[in-house]
A and B are shown apart, each in its own frame.
Chain A
């Protein structure tokens, strides 16, 4: 309606009109959360509510991003809107960094403080009296002769850094390079190279996920390393699991902007969606380096 007039007048502010998407999205997340709670409480049919919530959520993403892409292609957004999107994406990524910080914090706390304290270090060393012979040594799975409690699994082995995780590191780092090549190609207007290297990037991303799935299967069934394997298993699976979830989201986003590239979207000057996804992908990359060093290697 009033959009077109605003688009070409740089002195006028851009103001979007009413939208049903936010309310729809809130209902979608409400259904998702109710479904998850019912599912966890073993209520019959809870799983179906959960699936319905997921379906609504994907519908929301499809509709919302579809709207934004269509508005963008129609040339409605001025540079100010573009800057708003950029800043929004940056601060969203910062909030994600802080989410991972909580789990890294838990890892450091367990390794450096709580486990040594359980082992008798420091002024609170009562364990030596309560559980003589207990040694709080990382990696701790709550198992074996040092076993403290009932919820621990049996024997387990750690996931060594220089096997599958090293391959995954190489995959992700390479994908960062291919993505950068694609970005430069986009800026230089070389669409063929752009499409090729963007495709390589998400293929590397999905390969990473395949390797991680194999790694999880190996850990769970052969190494005895599970979520319940003490604080080692907890931090291992929660950190790498949330990272894997983010890789999944990032790879799907890469796939979507690849389709957009094939359709001829984005110009060498303006391609916020591409950059937003690229930032997200690099963020996922950096988190992985942290995981590789602190979860697998050290």
Chain B
């Protein structure tokens, strides 16, 4: 249906400027989505480079390559770049590309603001990365920016704070756009409970972002005024408390981890249905589970700070509320499994990544449950066990889901099939090395190795070496990913409109590559 009108309208609609002007002025959701995705891939490589420095230094005990101050800059920048530069923009890029196509909209609801979000993010990262070259170096306090340590940052301090402000503004505008697009631009007949789960997951993610990014902005503003304007929010000498910053930060920070994982849930839900050739098991339960997880994410933040000392009632509350998250998460994991049950499954690269997500994210979920228990957390806190936990949910969790999404939708974006053999190889390399990289970190943490240190006792040497080997292997494997994407973008076997075997969703009703403007008039949804 929509195709025919396209060809007629094509000529006058595709009159986009060429060269750099196109990317500086475009208001097209596909162009902006592409910019987000390319930006995120670049940041993934830069953040990965920082991780390589960390793993190289930790390959052996002793100080070999970098001084401790620079090591701390690396851990801080690795986290900031990966969280705000790689994972979040990747999901925003996917949202830009896919949400309008999934709900039958012509574009995002507020296209100019959409472009504003992207370029703000870009410049925010130019600012953040520039801190590496400033006197005193980049922030070295860890991405959590706890005072009073962060207040000792050199000239980078105000730059980093303002970079975070810009990222926040970008995220808020981006999420307003997602909410308005979904609430206002759905095609007739596309009721909320018919909407694909990826769009659902992003709708709820956007609410989380709008609610917590301003709180982070407030928190870093208080840091700024404590540093430059003599306020005492975090200074006990004036009646403040450094722990207040931890509360403010984690009120943002815990929803933030769901901001990174909920779109991943949506992606995995899409992919498991397609390659199991069955509709998702318990669609509505999946929606309600995402919503419950989002709600709970607002009342669990202090489980990140059990050891700062808080009243017993607080410890019990935050332990129990954190445990509650296991219920909706369990619903999701069981429903994914039930979706595959008796399906006629095929193992294309997106499916492989989705299945790996299911297993490995669940490992991260279980170690999260262990960390939720306040008295047990006293042992694990700030050890490598925590590092292992959140890397399991973020790397074979969020990042694998993003890679699955790229392998799922790349033919729709480029119009070409990618090299399946190479993609399979990329999958196996990534999956093996990611476990070599992060699984030993559980042992290190339980044996007592603290996080964020450049040197360690010799008893931790063996597993650190194993972990570093895994890290180098995982890092190198990602070059394959880049190669596969570039190759597919440049050419290859033509993809059909459906690409896969009868996949669900409106995006598969339009040709591959998707036309510059997908829908001129509203498609019909039955």
Query: Which residues does A use to contact B, with CB under 8 Å?
Result: 2, 11-23, 25-27, 29-30, 33-34, 36-37, 40-41, 64, 80, 83-84, 87-88, 91-92, 94-96, 98-103, 105-106, 109-110, 113-115, 117-118, 122-124, 136, 140-142, 148-152, 226-235, 237-238
Cβ of B380 within 8 Å of any chain A Cβ, yes or no, is no
CA separation between A129 and B475, bound complex, in Å? 52
Q: Are B123 and A29 in contact (CB under 8 A)?
A: yes
Q: How far is the CA of A148 from the CA of B235 in the complex (A)?
A: 10
Whether A123 and B116, one on each chain, are in contact in the complex, defined by CB atoms closer than 8 angstroms, is no
Say yes or no for B256: interface residue by CB 8 A criterion. no
Chain A residues in 8 Å Cβ range of B169: 29
Question: Is B214 a contact partner of A234 (Cβ separation < 8 A)?
Answer: no
Contact in complex: A22, B112 (CB < 8 Å): yes
Alpha-carbon distance A233/B214, docked complex (angstroms): 22
Indicate if the CB atoms of B166 and A29 lie closer than 8 Å. Answer: yes
Known contacts A15-B107, A124-B309; decide if A99 and B241 are in contact (CB<8 Å): no
Mask, B120-134, CB within 8 Å of A = 1, is 101100110000000
Interface residue B240 (Cβ < 8 Å from any Cβ of A):
yes
Chain B residue at minimum C-beta to C-beta distance from A80: B184
With beta carbons under 8 angstroms apart, the residue of B112, B172, B177, B224 that contacts A21 is B112
Query: Counting CB contacts under 8 A, is B253 at the interface?
Result: no
Point out the residue from B109, B158, B229 that lies within 8 Å of A227, measured CB to CB. B229
Identity of the chain A residue whose Cβ is nearest the Cβ of B171 in the assembled complex: A95
B185 to chain A, nearest CB (A): 7
Given A11-B522, A18-B25, A98-B214, A114 contacting B239 (CB threshold 8 A): yes
The distance in angstroms between the C-alpha atoms of A20 and B20, with both chains bound, is 12
A19 touches B231 (CB 8 A): no
| B interface size (C-beta, 8 A) | 83
CA distance A233 to B235 in the complex (A): 13
A101 to B381, CA, bound (A): 29
Q: Is B236 an interface residue (CB 8 A)?
A: yes
* Closest A residue by C-beta to B109: A84
A36 touches B240 (CB 8 A): no
Q: A interface, by DSSP: helix, strand, loop or mixed?
A: helix
With A11-B522, A87-B179 already in contact, the answer to whether A142 and B25 are too (CB < 8 A) is: no
Q: Which residues of chain B are within 8 angstroms of A142 by Cβ–Cβ distance?
A: 232, 237-239
- Determine the distance from Cα of A21 to Cα of B117 in the docked complex, in whole angstroms: 12
Q: How far is the CA of A37 from the CA of B228 in the complex (A)?
A: 11
Task: Please give the distance in Å from A220's CB to the nearest CB on chain B.
Answer: 13
CB distance from A47 to the nearest CB of B (A): 14
Contact A34 B222 (CB under 8 A): no
Residues from chain A with a CB closer than 8 A to the CB of B323 are none
B212's closest neighbor in chain A, by CB? Answer: A98
In the complex, are the beta carbons of B230 and A18 less than 8 A apart? no
At the interface with chain A, which of B243-251, B366-374, B435-443, B493-501? Answer: B243-251
How far, in whole Å, are A87 and B520 apart by their CA atoms in the complex? 22
Q: Is the CB of A87 within 8 A of B228?
A: no
Contact B115 A23 (CB under 8 A): yes
Contact of B222 with A95 in the complex, beta carbons under 8 Å: no
| Closest B residue to A136 using CB positions | B239
Question: A103 — nearest CB in chain B belongs to which residue?
Answer: B218
Instruction: Specify the main secondary structure of chain B where it touches its partner.
Output: helix
Check if B19 is an interface residue, CB within 8 A of chain A: no
Chain A residue numbers with a CB within 8 Å of B211 are 94-95, 98
B421 on interface, CB distance cutoff 8 Å: no
**Residues on the B chain within 8 Å of A136, using CB:** 239
Q: What would 6 more interface pairs be, CB under 8 Å, given A88-B110, A102-B251?
A: A18-B26, A40-B228, A102-B215, A110-B233, A228-B230, A230-B240
Cα–Cα distance between A140 and B165 once the two chains are bound (Å): 30
Establish whether residues A234 and B225, one from each chain, have CB atoms under 8 Å apart when the complex forms. Answer: yes
The residue of chain B having its C-beta at the shortest distance from the C-beta of A32 within the complex is B162
Decide: A105 and B247 in contact? CB cutoff 8 A: yes
Residues on the B chain within 8 Å of A15, using CB: 27, 106-107, 111, 517
CA distance A229 to B239 in the complex (A): 10
A230 pairs with B238, CB closer than 8 A? yes
A18 lies within 8 A of B16 (CB)? yes
CB-CB nearest in chain A for B247: A109
Chain B positions 459 through 485: 1 when the CB is less than 8 Å from some CB of chain A, otherwise 0? 000000000000000000000000000
Give the most central of B27, B176, B232, B517: most A CB within 10 Å: B232
Q: How far is the CB of A272 from chain B (nearest CB, A)?
A: 13
**In the bound complex, how far is the Cα of B235 from the Cα of A15, in angstroms?**
51
Smallest Cβ distance from B163 to chain A, in angstroms? 7
27 A-B residue pairs with CB within 8 Å: A13-B107, A15-B107, A19-B25, A21-B112, A22-B116, A23-B24, A26-B119, A26-B122, A33-B159, A37-B162, A80-B184, A83-B184, A84-B110, A94-B211, A98-B214, A109-B247, A136-B239, A140-B238, A141-B238, A141-B239, A148-B239, A150-B237, A151-B232, A151-B238, A231-B239, A234-B222, A234-B233
Given contacts A11-B521, A29-B166, A103-B218, contact A20 B25 (CB under 8 A): yes
B258 contacts chain A at the CB level, 8 A cutoff: no
For residue B155, CB closer than 8 A to chain A, the reply is: yes
Q: Is B490 an interface residue (CB 8 A)?
A: no
**B180 / chain A contacts, CB cutoff of 8 Å:** 84, 87-88, 91
- Is the CB of B151 closer than 8 A to any CB of chain A? no
In the complex, are the beta carbons of A95 and B210 less than 8 A apart? Answer: yes
Smallest CB separation, A241 vs chain B (Å): 10
Chain B residues closer than 8 Å to A21, beta-carbon distance: 112, 116
Inter-chain contact A114/B241, CB cutoff 8 Å? yes
**Hey, which chain A residues are within 8 Å of B330, CB to CB?**
none
A165 to chain B, nearest CB (A): 21
Q: Shortest CB–CB separation between residue B146 and chain A, in angstroms? A: 15
Q: With A80-B185, A234-B225 in contact, do A36 and B162 touch (Cβ < 8 Å)?
A: yes
Q: Which residues of B contact A64 (CB under 8 A)?
A: 112
- CB neighbours of A84 from chain B (8 A): 109-110, 180, 184-185
Q: Which residue of B lies closest to A229 (CB)?
A: B238
Residue numbers in A under 8 Å from B228 (CB-CB): 40
**Alpha-carbon separation in the docked complex, A95 to B252 (Å):** 13
Q: Which residues of A contact B213 (CB under 8 A)?
A: 95, 98
Q: CA separation between A109 and B113, bound complex, in Å?
A: 36
Tell me which residues across on chain A come within 8 A of B122, comparing CB atoms: 26
Are the CB atoms of A26 and B215 closer together than 8 Å? no
Cβ contact within 8 Å between B214 and A16: no
CB of A284 to closest CB in B, whole Å = 15
- Min Cβ gap A127→B in Å is 9
Nearest residue, chain A, Cβ from B312: A123
By beta carbon, the residue of chain A nearest B219 is A102
Separation of A106 and B229 alpha carbons in the complex (Å): 17
The residue in chain B whose Cβ has the minimal distance to the Cβ of A2 is: B12
**By the criterion CB–CB under 8 Å, are A13 and B106 in contact?**
yes
B50 at the A/B interface (Cβ < 8 Å)?
A: no
Q: How far is the CA of A17 from the CA of B498 in the complex (A)?
A: 29
Counting chain A CB atoms within 10 Å of each CB, which of B163, B241, B243, B309 scores highest? Answer: B241
Question: Is there an interface contact between B172 and A114, defined as CB atoms closer than 8 Å?
Answer: no
> Do A115 and B119 touch across chains, with their CB atoms under 8 A apart?
no
Tell whether, in the assembled complex, residue A96 and residue B214 are in contact, meaning their CB atoms are under 8 Å apart.
Answer: yes
Also in contact, A98 and B215, with CB within 8 A (given A13-B519, A106-B244): yes
Question: Who on chain A is nearest to B111 by CB?
Answer: A16
List A contacts of B165 (CB < 8 A).
Answer: 33
- The complex places the Cα of A83 from the Cα of B185 at a distance, in Å, of 10
Given the complex, which residues of A lie within 8 Å of B24, measured CB to CB? Answer: 20, 23
Q: Chain A residues near B189: list those with CB within 8 A.
A: none
